Structure 1
């Protein structure tokens, strides 16, 4: 039944906004383009998302970037690929006060490179940079997300035996 609601980007956005790890963390996906190439999310300014100093908790900032690119690539790559987060890193620039946001984009060039690098069944690890910013547009943190992408076995080309 869940798959029925996730057939479109808007349906996926709605389901993800009800998913407990996002919902209870104050994270909301505000926009997702129907072609899955753009997403905007926010971290609400809730008492439970702030640290001792009144700034947004670093774990909440990092969590906001967690599913973005893997969700988008899953929507773009259809059912032919495995797509998930492989690794990540965050660099905190300044305290996030109030609501903070991310905007994620996947270009045609990035998508073409992923498809080219995986067409023979190889693993590929594209890297995406996510800027977390406040209402005035100032950078709060920058996260780097490395995504694992690989064709599922049934879509990989047959292996050609090595010549002797």
Structure 2
């Protein structure tokens, strides 16, 4: 699925937002229905640590807000989505540009809508990997999100 004008503008806004911009990451693609987002994190002077490899904080910060925003966009009004917890496991030092590919399938959105009654909430867990062009994984991030349905 390609980007829409609306998601292109959202991508631009995301990349220009000072907090996200400071991570060094860049959102490169947002599907028209927000079911997929792709992020790129280049190894630059802004993302390097004292050892010349990717700063772990940059790796986490570049992926941190993405699932919350995707879920908010996909669920729409009547739902509240927040970060509840996160965990990152570093597999190897990041010595090159890394990528992340976020996906929220329709089945997940349907499950949330069906299982949460107005006034109730649940926690959902999502995983994303940071990998290089060859597909080698450098870090795995697990995010736990609070999802609440507003009272009608």
Distance between the aligned counterparts of 1:105 and 1:94, measured in 2? 23
Counterpart in the other structure of 2:26: 28
Unaligned runs of 5+ in 1: 1-6, 156-164
1:117-138 superposed Cα distances (whole Å, 9 cap, x missing partner) = 2134311111001111012210
SS for the counterpart of 1:8 is helix
In 2, distance between residues paired with 1:71 and 1:18?
A: 15
**How far apart are the structure 1 equivalents of 2:59 and 2:105?**
24
* Correspondence for 1:43 among 41, 64, 68: 41
TM-score, with normalisation over the residues of structure 1? 0.85
Aligned to 1:13: 11
Q: Structure 2 matches for 1:101-112, cutoff 5 A?
A: 101-112=99-110
Question: 5 Å matches for 1:54-65?
Answer: 54-65=52-63
Alpha-carbon RMSD: 1.4
- Is residue 36–residue 75 contact of structure 1 (8 Å, CA) maintained in 2? yes
Matched position secondary structure for 2:46: helix
Partner Cα separation in structure 2 for residue 139 and residue 66 of structure 1? 17
Aligned residue pairs, count:
148
- Using the alignment, how far apart are the partners of 1:34 and 1:148 within structure 2? 24
Which among 63, 83, 86 is matched to residue 85 of structure 1? 83
Q: Please name the residue that 2:143 is paired with.
A: 145
The structure that has the greater radius of gyration is 1
Q: For residues 66-99 of structure 1, give each alpha carbon's deviation from its aligned partner in whole angstroms, at most 9, with x where no partner exists.
A: 1111111111111211112111000000111121
> In structure 2, how many angstroms separate the alpha carbons of the residues matched to 1:92 and 1:69?
19
TM-score of the two chains, using structure 2 as the length reference: 0.91
State the shift of 1:45 in Å: 1.6
